Amino acid sequence: MFGNGEQQKRLLEQQLSDAHRRLAELERELGMRSGRDSLTGLPDLRRFHQRLVSEVDRSRRHGHPLSVAAVDIDGFSGLNVSHGLAVGDAILRAAGRVITELTRANDFVARSQGDEFVLLMTDTDSAGAKQCVDRILLELEATAAGPISCVSASAGVATWQRPQTPEQLLEVARRGIERARSDGGGRAAVITSGLEDVSPEDDTRRDAIVGLATTLLERDRYTGDHSEAVVKLTVRVAEALALNPDEVARVETAALLHDVGKVGIPDSILHKDGPLDDNEWVLMKEHPVIGERILRAIPGLGGVARIVRHEHERWDGGGYPDGIAGDQIPIGSRIILTCDAYHAMTSDRPYRKAMSHEDALRELRKNAGTQFDPQVVEALMGCLYGDRTLSAHDAASE
């Protein structure tokens, strides 16, 4: 009897599994028949192409501007591998929702293939289309999906020109994604049929980063020099933790600009020769939020802005400004906090002398698991140990 019961249970489980599979197949089939993507609910590529053919014909007859954009999630296959298909699906649903919310009622949004979305913007020239897409990319950078706190995407924008066919127009927009990625990703590239930028520009994001870093250095020499020193440590720790190259680059930029919000702090507090009182600390604790606001105004720096906002959060949840804890804190923020603390402890300040390397390491160990991520502390100590071992070897060789 017991064996029969187990057999019946397995049979029922198999029947339920088969029913779920058939239901999923039916949903896909219905989605294909309805012309809608079953995951996001958006129109599919076939319906998009039908609308595109109609709008190109309208523009050809009446001369109205018509623009197309293709938006592709950066590093999507890697996210699927690292976090699983369910997280990938959540990212796609979130992206579809953001794109729909930030486009007009008479625009046409579809999921075309994989992690690509396409937009049809009627009566819109290239400048207007790029402005719309830039807003979408900024909002995506502030969008969370499961464990992913920042959705980065690259986009291509193209405006119809005679004698382009609908297929050629869409292909030009897709090639714009390649241009955006070659320029660093997380941005939109406007492309003509000749694949040249409509208005050739320098790398404005890099210029903005350099400008902010220079401003920080001029405002407070210690803060600027300190940020540069922290950058070197954070890059090495990020690489030791096996972060992918895009994440390492993001952490590097955040480390360079992690104190940029201090430009909004009064000089009387910033340059005070001594510990801050309670009221002064209230103001000083605003600098991560100020820094986030500054960085979010620059397209492509949404992920960096989030790291900067949380670089004073503690592993145990006792930090600021949001009191988040553990893995809720972006890994970049955890790395910067630890490297920043080590450099601060081993640097002279007007109101105290620098700690020794050994004392600073003891502080890091003591606070691992409360203030600092233990894994980050371990990686940093490994990097520092390697430095000192190499220095000792070099000294012995002289």
Is 188 found in the same domain as 235? no
Which range is least confidently modeled, 42-46, 119-123, 254-258, 384-388?
384-388
Query: Any idea of the CA torsion for 83, 86, 89, 93, to the nearest 10 degrees?
Result: -110
Is 213 found in the same domain as 159? no
Structure tokens at 40: 């996001």
Output the pLDDT for position 349.
67
> Domain ends where: 135, 165, 200?
200
Q: Measured between alpha carbons, how far is 46 from 388 in angstroms, rounded to an integer?
A: 62
> Domain ends where: 166, 200, 234?
200
Give pLDDT tens digits for 330-386.
Answer: 999 999 999 999 988 998 766 568 899 999 999 999 999 999 999 999 999 999 886
pLDDT band for position 22 (50/70/90)? Answer: low
> For 313, left (φ over 0), alpha (ψ -120 to 50), or beta?
beta
Is 150 found in the same domain as 183? yes
pTM reported for the whole predicted model: 0.55
Q: What is the mean pLDDT of residues 18-43?
A: 66
Is 376 found in the same domain as 244? yes
Q: Measured between alpha carbons, how far is 248 from 159 in angstroms, rounded to an integer?
A: 35
Output the pLDDT for position 394.
40
Give pLDDT tens digits for 56-73.
Answer: 999 988 888 999 999 999
Give pLDDT tens digits for 273-308.
Answer: 778 888 889 888 999 999 998 888 776 787 888 899
Is 151 found in the same domain as 58? yes
Q: What is the mean pLDDT of residues 26-51?
A: 76
What's the mean per-residue pLDDT of the chain? 82
Q: Measured between alpha carbons, how far is 148 from 57 in angstroms, rounded to an integer?
A: 41
More confident residue, 48 or 212: 48
Give pLDDT tens digits for 208-233.
Answer: 776 676 666 655 555 545 567 788 89
Give pLDDT tens digits for 331-342.
Answer: 999 999 999 999
Q: What letters, b where the CB count within 10 A reaches 16 and e where it falls short, cover 182-210?
A: ebebbbbbbbebeeeebeeeeeebeebbe
Is 376 found in the same domain as 227? yes
Output the pLDDT for position 173.
93
3 by Cβ neighbours in 10 Å (0-12 / 13-18 / 19+) ranks as exposed
Residues 6+ apart with CB under 8 A from 55: 66, 120, 122
Does 170 map to a domain?
yes
Please say whether the beta carbons of 291 and 271 come within 8 A.
Answer: no
Residue 241 has pLDDT above 50, yes or no: yes
Is 227 found in the same domain as 345? yes
Q: What is the mean pLDDT of residues 79-91?
A: 88
Q: What is the CATH number of the domain that holds 343?
A: 1.10.3210.10
> Domain ends where: 200, 224, 259?
200
Does 30 map to a domain?
no
Output the pLDDT for position 302.
79
Does 73 map to a domain?
yes
Dmax (CA) of the chain: 83
Question: In total, how many domains does the chain have?
Answer: 2
Residues 6+ apart with CB under 8 A from 37: 31, 43, 44, 96, 110, 111
In three-state secondary structure terms, 323 is: coil
Does 44 map to a domain?
yes
Output the pLDDT for position 199.
38
Does 4 map to a domain?
no
- Domain holding 226, by residue range, is 206-397
Which range is least confidently modeled, 106-115, 205-214, 266-275?
205-214
- Following DSSP, what letter does each residue of 106-173 receive, concatenated? TSEEEEEETTEEEEEEET--HHHHHHHHHHHHHHHHT--BTTB----EEEEEEE--TT--HHHHHHHH
Is 269 found in the same domain as 170? no
Is 284 found in the same domain as 166? no
Q: What is the CATH number of the domain that holds 128?
A: 3.30.70.270
Is 185 found in the same domain as 231? no
Does 254 map to a domain?
yes
Does 5 map to a domain?
no
Output the pLDDT for position 245.
82
Is 303 found in the same domain as 183? no
Does 1 map to a domain?
no
Is 239 found in the same domain as 128? no
